[in-house]
Amino acid sequence: MAKKTDIHNGSLLEQFGMKPYKLRAKESYMTKRQLTHFRKLLNAWKDQLEKEAEKTVNHMQNDSNSLADPNDRATQESEFGLELRTRDRERKLLRKIQISLAKIEEGTYGFCEETGEEIGLQRLEARPVANLTLEAQERREITEKQFKDNR
């Protein structure tokens, strides 16, 4: 089964052999150096997800033989279904990574889409595709929960 690519297997930085960003004295937010750090992290994550997708395609093409035993066939179909669901989630994540890379190029990366405030380096290292501050994300989740509960 494919290795999970989320932060539950250690931080993304650890997965890609990167060190946490060291802020220099009086360094402003989202300098060229910081953007280079996040571009490298996002590209490494993107490359990993694309390799995993390629492995899945190869695995399904090579291992999708017609098994005689119905139980074996059912197990294989279940395994393929799980892999496809995982790849679908990763496809959505790839889209978020591409959006984040575009924001780096536009100069808007690292700023909250709701408030315009700095998202923060630590939050971005933990979740490089974050587009809201922690506070804005929490408000959104509370609003969504209230909306869901009132249905």
What is the CATH code of the structural domain delimited by 29-149? 1.20.120.910
Give the model confidence (pLDDT) of 39-84 as tens digits: 999 999 999 999 988 877 776 766 666 667 777 777 777 777 777 7
**Domain spans in the chain, listed from the N-terminal domain onward:** 29-149
Mean pLDDT over 10-39 rounds to: 93
Distance of CA 74 to the CA centre of its chain: 31
**First and final CA of the chain: distance in angstroms?**
38
**Window from 32-36, 45-49, 84-88, 116-120 with minimum mean pLDDT:** 84-88
Tell me the pTM.
0.76
